Amino acid sequence: MGIKRLYWTSSTAKYPPQVFYQETEVGATCLRFGKHRPCANVPSDVLVVCGTITANLLSFCSWGFSRKDVVKSLLRLGHLLFLCLAVSVMWAQNPPQDVVLTAMQQELQRSFNNLKKTPVPPYFLSYQLTDNRGIQISASFGALTASVDQTTRLLDIDLRVGDYSMDNTHPVRNAGAYDASGQFERQAMPIENDPDALRVALWQETEHKYRSAVQRLQQVKANVEVKVQAEDRSGDFSHEPAETYSEPVAPFAFDTAMWEQKLRKFTAPFAQHKEIIENGAQMVAEIETRRYVNSDGSNIKISSPLFRIILSATAKADDGMELPLQQTYLSFRPEGLPSDDTVLKDVSRMVTTLLALVKAPVADPFTGPAILSGRASAVFFHEIFGHRVEGQRQKNEDEGQTFKNRVNQLVLPDFLSVYSDPRLKVLAGTDLVGFYPYDDEGVKARRVTVVDKGVLKNFLMSRAPIQGFDHSNGHGRRQQGYKVVARQSNLIVESSKHVSRAELKNLLIAQVKAANKPYGLFFDDIEGGFTFTQRLQPNAFNVRPTVVYRIYPDGREELVRGVDLIGTPLIAFSKIVAADDEVSVFNGMCGAESGWVPVSASSPGLLISQMEVQRKEKSQERAPILPPPPATQEN
């Protein structure tokens, strides 16, 4: 009978690549290197020989022979092993096609090739398609307030005309306080995986972006002609290698009814205290799948789930001051979130702290020694330091450019080093939300040493070059709809010298006595903050602590309320004198010119010889007069 069917994978023209599969299940015999077993989905006149090449490499080769050729086939087992290895390698290098990604590639290539024939051709084009399914449950004072399950698909296009040295994204100087051209152009896309519908939508948006890009390039050229020469004359876009990377869509499972009940339980205790005027809990479960292709040849697919519990409550003192507290839990896996008992213990602690804050004395404006806990220090470095080492701020002449000319100079104490590493997914058992394998410009994430032993070495870079730094280091980020700029990811502060927390407190007391101050301050927790980096405003910061203690010379600690931590960056950095051994992580959402992106920061506790605080704003409304109603049922 001879060989009747032959299915294999080959790189030769004689045997085109294919993988055998049959829909109809019929009886057959499978040989797995000499061991017989039933085999499904194989025609009765075909023998399939397959096997494991190594412990980690499963091959799916299939040779089809008539049964008369079985013996002859087995004599060629050595050839078969070679073919199995070839199939396995090719399968790993060429995973099953993603129809959405394929449609994006095809339309990008078609549009780019056609637009290259126009009088003003593009030199770069990229599509980023972001799928998001988000389930958000909200509760307050023991009752649900919302439960939403939403799916979106959003498109971002980067189309550039001109060339790498100057293109349509070039800043138009003196175009107003904020050049918002094309700043927010997020486009909703069909959520079904219909290649034809997707390509139509991509075509329409590409046409719109091209017309806008050509018009803006004319504005850019006119603006350059009438303005003084820029201080930094580096190009507008960097050459970067094409990248290929693909992840399967991550598994995503979520029990909405179970979490609705949990949030009722987590928020019920806050309802029993009239001092607590606001309370909320949110459970956010989402999966984001990001597909990216560009005209350089990059082809990237990333998929990641994220689960967050956010507890918040606000108490009101008799003088009208509102006192917020927040507790956040985060994990890339639902089983990584804390148990109900752990959350309820934290709820109890929050209630106790809020009731104590209501009765605490109001702090006065003060300057003197202070300790920032690890979490407070992490927020401090993110706000005060991290934003000032984002690359585009060194080029924009409206920016203060705090560190532009400080490369290879001492900017921090020599016992501190700082790096940014978006590849870190977990640190000290805590998931880091600043994790990603590739940034929003298709550049591979990498660790960047920003400060080494106090000396500034690097900036965080997107594909927008600056003087002395010609290439991206994987920190181009954005919220969907915004332009990409360099942003922080996971900012890690490390100290080569450290003491215990108790020793750090003793050092603080020594500073208090030496400065003849009545007390020092300990900032235990912080809700966030902000900083000004532009020349138009004072280059100052405001960090908003929630739990602050006075530490007296005799070691006594007193809870106080109503202060904001303020100052200017260069003075604050010069006053850091010691670090402890209690490293903490802060996870949060950071808002800047490219929208809101998830970030993490980590730091030990720090002793700063001089910090300034000012009084916090307060409401003029009185605290509630009526007590809350009694509970009628057990939660």
Is 507 in the same domain as 380?
A: yes
User: Rounded mean pLDDT of 348-353?
Assistant: 97
Q: How many residues does the chain have?
A: 635
**Does the residue 68 lie in any domain?**
yes
Residue 477: predicted pLDDT: 97
Q: In the predicted model, is pLDDT for residue 243 greater than 80?
A: yes
DSSP 362: B
**Does the residue 441 lie in any domain?**
yes
Tokens 């108490």 belong to which residue? 315
Q: What are the distances in angstroms from CA 202 to CA 92, 112, 122, 129, 213?
A: 29, 12, 16, 10, 16
- What are the pLDDT digits (tens) for 76-110? 434 444 444 444 444 344 556 899 999 999 999 99
**Does the residue 29 lie in any domain?**
no
Give me the CATH number covering residue 139.
Answer: 3.30.2290.10
Is 240 in the same domain as 268?
A: yes
Is 278 in the same domain as 368?
A: no
Helix 99-115, helix 195-226: angle, nearest 10: 40
User: Rounded mean pLDDT of 369-377?
Assistant: 96
Is 339 in the same domain as 427?
A: no
Q: In the predicted model, is pLDDT for residue 448 greater than 60?
A: yes
**Does the residue 235 lie in any domain?**
yes
Is 160 in the same domain as 261?
A: yes
Strand positions, DSSP E, 299-357: 299-316, 322-331
**Does the residue 430 lie in any domain?**
yes
**Does the residue 30 lie in any domain?**
no
**With bands split at pLDDT 50, 70 and 90, how would you rate the model's confidence at 249?**
very high
Is 86 in the same domain as 107?
A: no
Domain count, the chain: 3
**With bands split at pLDDT 50, 70 and 90, how would you rate the model's confidence at 633?**
low
Is 285 in the same domain as 418?
A: no
Residue 315: predicted pLDDT: 95
Residue that finishes a domain, picked among 356, 375, 407: 356
Longest dimension (CA), the chain: 103
Domain range for 88: 40-93
Element (DSSP H or E) covering residue 187: strand 187-188
Is 552 in the same domain as 604?
A: yes
Q: In the predicted model, is pLDDT for residue 162 greater than 50?
A: yes
Radius of gyration of the chain (CA): 30
Residue 630: predicted pLDDT: 74
Is 606 in the same domain as 464?
A: yes
User: Rounded mean pLDDT of 176-195?
Assistant: 72
Residue 176: predicted pLDDT: 58
Is 465 in the same domain as 563?
A: yes
559 contacts: CB under 8 Å, gap ≥ 6: 356, 357, 360, 547, 548, 549
**Does the residue 240 lie in any domain?**
yes
To the nearest whole number, what is the mean pLDDT of the chain? 84
Is 249 in the same domain as 211?
A: yes
- What are the pLDDT digits (tens) for 449-478? 999 999 999 999 999 999 999 999 999 999
Is 181 in the same domain as 209?
A: yes
**Does the residue 110 lie in any domain?**
yes
Q: In the predicted model, is pLDDT for residue 143 greater than 60?
A: yes
Whole-prediction pTM: 0.81
